[in-house]
Amino acid sequence: MLVWTDKTTLAGRIAHEQGDYIFSYDRNLPDAAAVSLTMPIETRSYDWRGELHPVFQMNLPEGALRHSIDAMFSKAIPNYNELDVLRITGQSQIGRLRYTDEGSTPDRIPTQSVSDILHYSGTEDLMTELLQKFARQSGVSGVQPKILIKDSDLSRLTVQGTTHIIKTFDATAYPELAANEYFCMRACARAGLSVPPVELSDNGRFLVIDRFDIAEDHSYLGLEDFCSLSGLGTKRKYDSSYEMLAKRIRDFVSPEHRRHALQTYFKSLAMTCAIRNGDAHLKNFAVLYRDADAPVTLAPTFDMVSTCVYIRNDSMALLLDGSKRFAHAKKLCKFARTHCGMSEQEAQHTLEQVGQALSETAIEVKRYAADHPRFNATATAMLQQWQTGLAQSIQGTPSAN
């Protein structure tokens, strides 16, 4: 299978041989054409035992999307494996990498009105219809139902691929998850974190997110999450620490952007503790770059949810100071000083920004719940978790336990 770093640059080929996945670069490529910041161009092949290389499995579909793809293709394809899933979704991925078979031509990507999703009032299961339509165009990871679409209202632009991420949820296991994430992202934005434009549908069933890996010239930027940058497969996204993640940021973000990236990372971590988000794992932090020779920046904040609403005794996704308990304000400030190069005053100011943002966003949550009774129970649970997070992780009130 061919691997492309843009529409015209063939980077190399992936093969599957006797359980190994083997990637080899084409000859005479510039350094900028490297497929990953961890895989510079070399004459030797990159061999990976038993699973795809981390950068290639980074966008393999999971959850409902993977089930939909498997149902459509696994029976028809002999010895169906990860490479087949990559081949199916390879022409539409998060980031700049694309995958095709030898001699194949790009499929035409269907379009869908984002406005119609936001204002959908029908009784049919719209997500099932969208999965059927866009599963092959959805090279994106994540356990909750999620697809990539191309907005028909933006068809006049020169964006060749998809433009938005559409997310929904299992209403039985995760009631009102879209609104939960929407207000968590609102709090992030209010705290000064960079976030992609996010909209909540009128019926509360869908979250519509602008892809933030599209450059001003409508090409796609390189995006790598910290699972890939740590040389880990997706299944190991919880096998690390926030200290190690800070080190990875220092390793990969360009020097001129590093201080801001570490400050942003700390603010994101403080928000994670404040909202009680137990899913801030390695795949939920990423970097952006135009090509492998270009400056590297920390990607905007994404996938912020108050998980303790659904998993009452949830914990942090990664270790912090050897523990997965949500960090106390004192521990967060120590982390900022030791691993993010911040002063005590800067750390305290960041906690104050997060606390103010949550307090202001809580007003929005209450207002939305008053107008949408279905959200009441989730809103109440969210605000209780935020209150606990504010007291312990932001203001430093001693924990009851």
The CATH number of whichever domain residue 304 belongs to comes to: 1.10.1070.20
**Does one domain contain both 125 and 92?**
no
**Does one domain contain both 172 and 196?**
yes
- pTM, full prediction: 0.95
* pLDDT value for 401: 37
* pLDDT value for 8: 86
- Long-range (24+ apart) CB contacts under 8 A made by 15-23 are 16/81, 16/83, 19/49, 19/50, 20/47, 20/48, 20/49, 20/50, 21/47, 21/48, 21/49, 21/51, 21/52, 21/53, 21/56, 21/82, 21/83, 22/46, 22/47, 22/48, 23/47, 23/48, 23/53, 23/56
First to last CA, the chain: 54
**Does one domain contain both 197 and 146?**
yes
In this predicted model, what pLDDT tens digit does every residue of 183-221 receive, in sequence order? 999 999 999 999 999 999 999 999 999 999 999 988 999
**Does one domain contain both 91 and 133?**
no
* pLDDT value for 11: 96
Contact 269, 275 (CB under 8 A): no
Residues written for the chain: 401
* Overall domain count for the chain: 2
* pLDDT value for 354: 98
**Does one domain contain both 65 and 207?**
no
Taking the chain (401 residues) in runs of 10, the rounded mean pLDDT of each run is 91 92 95 97 94 96 93 92 94 95 79 96 88 93 94 75 95 96 98 98 97 93 98 96 98 98 98 98 98 97 98 96 97 98 98 98 98 97 98 77 37
* pLDDT value for 155: 61
- Where among 43, 66, 97 does a domain terminate? 97
> Which domain does 339 fall in, by range?
106-401
**Does one domain contain both 225 and 330?**
yes
**Does one domain contain both 77 and 114?**
no
In this predicted model, what pLDDT tens digit does every residue of 167-178 receive, in sequence order? 999 999 999 999
* pLDDT value for 109: 87
Q: What is the mean pLDDT of the chain?
A: 94
Contact 281, 237 (CB under 8 A): yes
* pLDDT value for 23: 97
In this predicted model, what pLDDT tens digit does every residue of 293-335 receive, in sequence order? 999 999 999 999 999 999 999 999 999 999 999 999 999 999 9
